[in-house]
C-alpha cells in the first residue's frame, strides 16, 4: 500500500481534464461517509475539493488496485509556520495502512513546504499518532446549540 496525493485542479482548468476527475472512482465512494460525520453536505465537501480548498490523497493498495482510505488536506500559513492540516481521514483497515503516515509527512514537507503537520483527529487516533511522535497541543470540543 502507498499514499497517493491527487493533484489539485489549476484555476480555469476544465474539470474533465484534471487528475481529480480521472480518479473520482477511487475517492468519491468515501465522500458520503465524510459528510455523515461532518456538518457539511456531500455537495459542499465536493465543492471544497473541486475548488482546491481541500486536497485529497488516497491510501491505495497496488496489489488489489483498491482504495482503502481518503485523506483531506488543507494548507495554511500560521506566523512563520507552513502548516499542513489533515481535516479528513476515512477508510477501512487503518491497522493495515497506518504505517504510511511518514509518506504523508514527507509529501507535505517536500511538495507543499510544510514545516508542521496538524491532524484534526478523534480521540481514538491519539495513541496511533503519539507512536509517530505527535503530541497533543489543544483539545477541541463542541456543543450543538
Task: Read off the CATH number of the domain in which 63 is found.
Answer: 3.40.630.30
Has residue 89 been placed in a domain?
A: yes
- Mean pLDDT across 58-84: 94
Task: Tell me which residue range forms the domain holding 82.
Answer: 2-131
Give pLDDT, residue 95.
Answer: 83
Has residue 25 been placed in a domain?
A: yes
Nearest to 2 by CA among 81, 69, 84, 53: 69
Give pLDDT, residue 98.
Answer: 87
Has residue 94 been placed in a domain?
A: yes
Cβ atoms of 27 and 60 within 8 Å: the answer is: no
Give pLDDT, residue 35.
Answer: 95
In the chain, how many domains are there?
1
Sign for the CA dihedral angle at 31, 33, 38, 41 comes to positive
Give pLDDT, residue 105.
Answer: 94
- Mean pLDDT across 78-98: 90
Strand positions, DSSP E, 63-133:
66-78, 81-91, 116-119
3-state secondary structure of 135: coil
Q: Which of 31-40, 106-115, 118-127 has the lowest mean pLDDT?
A: 118-127
Has residue 49 been placed in a domain?
A: yes
- Reply yes or no on whether the pLDDT at 9 is more than 80: no
- Mean pLDDT across 4-33: 85
Confidence (pTM): 0.86
Has residue 87 been placed in a domain?
A: yes
Has residue 64 been placed in a domain?
A: yes
- Reply yes or no on whether the pLDDT at 13 is more than 90: no
Give pLDDT, residue 11.
Answer: 67
- Mean pLDDT across 16-32: 90
Rounded (10°) CA dihedral 85, 76, 50, 121:
20
Has residue 13 been placed in a domain?
A: yes
Give pLDDT, residue 51.
Answer: 85
Confidence of residue 14 (pLDDT cuts 50, 70, 90): low
Cβ atoms of 9 and 52 within 8 Å: the answer is: yes
Nearest to 70 by CA among 85, 82, 84, 55: 55
Mean pLDDT computed over every residue of the chain: 89
Has residue 138 been placed in a domain?
A: no
Amino acid at each position: 500500500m502507498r499514499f497517493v496525493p491527487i493533484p489539485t485542479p489549476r484555476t480555469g482548468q476544465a474539470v474533465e481534464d484534471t487528475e481529480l476527475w480521472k480518479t473520482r472512482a477511487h475517492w468519491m465512494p468515501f465522500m458520503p461517509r465524510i459528510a455523515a460525520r461532518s456538518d457539511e453536505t456531500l455537495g459542499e465537501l465536493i465543492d471544497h475539493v473541486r475548488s482546491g480548498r481541500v486536497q485529497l490523497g488516497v491510501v491505495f493498495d497496488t496489489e488489489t488496485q483498491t482504495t482503502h482510505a481518503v485523506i483531506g488536506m488543507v494548507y495554511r500559513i500560521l506566523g512563520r509556520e507552513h502548516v499542513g492540516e489533515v481535516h479528513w481521514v476515512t477508510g477501512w483497515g487503518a491497522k493495515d495502512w497506518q504505517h504510511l503516515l511518514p509518506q504523508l509527512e514527507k509529501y507535505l514537507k517536500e511538495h507543499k513546504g510544510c514545516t508542521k503537520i496538524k491532524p484534526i483527529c478523534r480521540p481514538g487516533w491519539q495513541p496511533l499518532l503519539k507512536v509517530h511522535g505527535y503530541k497533543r497541543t489543544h483539545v477541541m470540543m463542541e456543543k450543538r446549540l
